């Protein structure tokens, strides 16, 4: 924690006992915000200078903290050459589900690493459903590797893609237990009625 942050917190602490409850609440919120700011600075330092374990831990911490300051570092890490770094960043971005980061996660659906592709499928399931997202995920239902199709079934169910019900149901006969389990869960998550999306604006 920087000296500036520590000084500000020290100045605020006595007001935690203020007679006015609104003042106490405001001070508690201010201290929490300052502590988070100090923590982010330390975490970003670890992300830049730490070993692999420390950097992965820093990415997970940023995903827990959230806020505008963590988005850019996580997006950067999602494109790093180290698979462990990319994987952790994809998971963190999925947890935060900031709309502007969806294209980054969609890129990771084509990652050379299968585990990262699977993690990206799970991550995009936290975003708002759309026909374009359905079309991007449906091909993974044919992966037949015990991981990608399982993640896709769960993701499409969470995104309320009722049109994929038949293909998800077909996965109940998969030779992979993980896929059969995911398909069963997905069928329980699918809605009973279709979602309706606004017609695209053609400019006419």
pLDDT band at 52 (very low <50, low <70, confident <90, very high): very high
The residue that leads in pLDDT, 203 or 31, is 31
| Model pTM above 0.85 | no
Helices and strands of the chain, counted as H and E runs: 11, 0
Q: How far is CA 134 from the centre of its chain?
A: 18
| Token output for 36 | 């988070």
Top-confidence residue, 2 or 5 = 5
Average pLDDT over residues 79-98: 97
| Least confidently predicted of 13-22, 91-100, 194-203 | 194-203
pLDDT band at 30 (very low <50, low <70, confident <90, very high): confident
Each domain of the chain, given as residue ranges in start order, spans: 1-49, 51-189
Return the structure tokens found at 190: 């699918």
User: pLDDT band at 37, cuts 50/70/90?
Assistant: low
Letter string b/e over residues 58-72, b meaning 16 or more CB atoms within 10 A of that residue's CB: bbbbbbebeeeebbe
Q: Which helix (H) or strand (E) covers residue 135, if one does?
A: helix 131-137
- pLDDT, position 120: 98
Output the CATH code of domain 51-189. Answer: 1.25.10.10
Quote the mean pLDDT of the chain: 91
pLDDT for res 153: 98
pLDDT in tens, 138-193: 999 999 999 999 999 999 999 999 999 999 999 999 999 999 999 999 999 999 88
- Please report, rounded to a whole number, the percentage of residues in the chain having pLDDT higher than 90: 74
d(CA 71, CA 194): 33
């Amino acid at each position: 924690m920087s000296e500036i942050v520590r000084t500000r917190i020290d100045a605020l602490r006595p007001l935690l006992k203020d007679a006015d409850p609104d003042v106490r609440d405001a001070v508690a919120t201010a201290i929490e915000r300052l502590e988070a700011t100090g923590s982010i600075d330390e975490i970003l330092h670890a992300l830049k200078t730490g070993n692999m374990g420390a950097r992965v831990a820093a990415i997970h911490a940023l995903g827990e903290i959230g806020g505008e300051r963590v988005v850019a570092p996580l997006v950067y890490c999602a494109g790093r050459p180290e698979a462990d770094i990319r994987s952790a960043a994809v998971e963190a971005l999925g947890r935060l589900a900031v709309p502007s980061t969806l294209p980054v996660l969609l890129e990771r659906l084509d990652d050379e690493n299968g585990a990262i592709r699977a993690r990206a499928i799970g991550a995009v399931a936290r975003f708002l459903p759309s026909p374009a997202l359905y079309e991007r995920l449906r091909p993974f239902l044919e992966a037949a590797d015990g991981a990608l199709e399982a993640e896709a079934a769960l993701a499409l169910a969470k995104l309320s893609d009722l049109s994929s019900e038949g293909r998800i149901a077909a996965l109940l006969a998969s030779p992979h237990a993980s896929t059969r389990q995911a398909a069963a869960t997905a069928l329980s998550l699918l809605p009973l009625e279709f979602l309706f999306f606004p017609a695209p604006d053609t400019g006419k």
